[in-house]
Structure 1
Amino acid sequence: MSIKGLINQKIENLSESEQMKVLNLIDIIQQENLKTENQLWSQFSLEQAMKGLENDLIPEYTEADLIEKWQ
């Protein structure tokens, strides 16, 4: 029997309140998976955006360069 079949068979033997607990657990697992997937995509996106910049020569600015003078 498949895992899905075994799960269905066991769930059928539970009370409705216990089935609700199983449903809540499934929701928690799905949310964790989605959160992990989003974190992986965010990391990948950042890596792609920064790709090639590690050797880029960034100019050094001094405080004097940043002060705007008003006349």
Structure 2
Amino acid sequence: MIWTEVFAPAYAPVETQTLPHPLPRIMNVAEKIDNQVRRLPEQTQAEVLDFVEYLLAKTEQKPVRDEEQEWTRMSLASAMQGLEEESEPEYTEADLEERFSSS
């Protein structure tokens, strides 16, 4: 499979207005990438495709991480709820000491 079979349908050509004198057409980024990748051997095009897929996967994971962080914040807030209202600790330092016996 070559580059154009994968990415050509992904973007539409930019429309230009009809002017009395033609202006040079400015290519968008996808068109520039397409023009450069077409010049590469098919094996190198496959490497470019792999890299693009990696970037897409990385971009799509960010919202998931943001959602996970929000859940973590909510869980922590829920676990800590009411603790700030406690007037006295339930345990003393003596209760927290650990004693080890040598066997």
Q: Is 1:19 matched with 2:33?
A: no
Alpha-carbon distance in 2 for matches of 1:37, 1:15 = 35
* Higher relative contact order, chain-length normalized (CA < 8 Å, sep 6+): 2
TM-score of the superposed pair, with normalisation by structure 2: 0.48
Distance of aligned partners of 1:56 and 1:9 in 2 relative to their CA distance in 1, 3 Å threshold: same
Alpha-carbon distance in 2 for matches of 1:14, 1:39 = 35
Distance of aligned partners of 1:60 and 1:34 in 2 relative to their CA distance in 1, 3 Å threshold: farther
Q: CA RMSD in A?
A: 2.7
Q: How many residues were matched structurally?
A: 63
Distance of aligned partners of 1:12 and 1:60 in 2 relative to their CA distance in 1, 3 Å threshold: farther
Aligned partner of 1:31 among 57, 60, 73: 57
Q: Report the structure number with the largest CA radius of gyration.
A: 2
Partner of 1:4: 30
Equivalent residue of 1:23, what SS?
A: helix
- Letter in structure 2 aligned against 1:11: V
Q: CA offset at residue 38 of structure 1? A: 1.2
TM-score of the superposed pair, with normalisation by structure 1: 0.65
Alpha-carbon distance in 1 for matches of 2:38, 2:82 = 61
Note the residue ranges of structure 2 that are not aligned, 5 or more in a row.
Answer: 1-26, 96-103
Note the residue ranges of structure 1 that are not aligned, 5 or more in a row.
Answer: 63-71
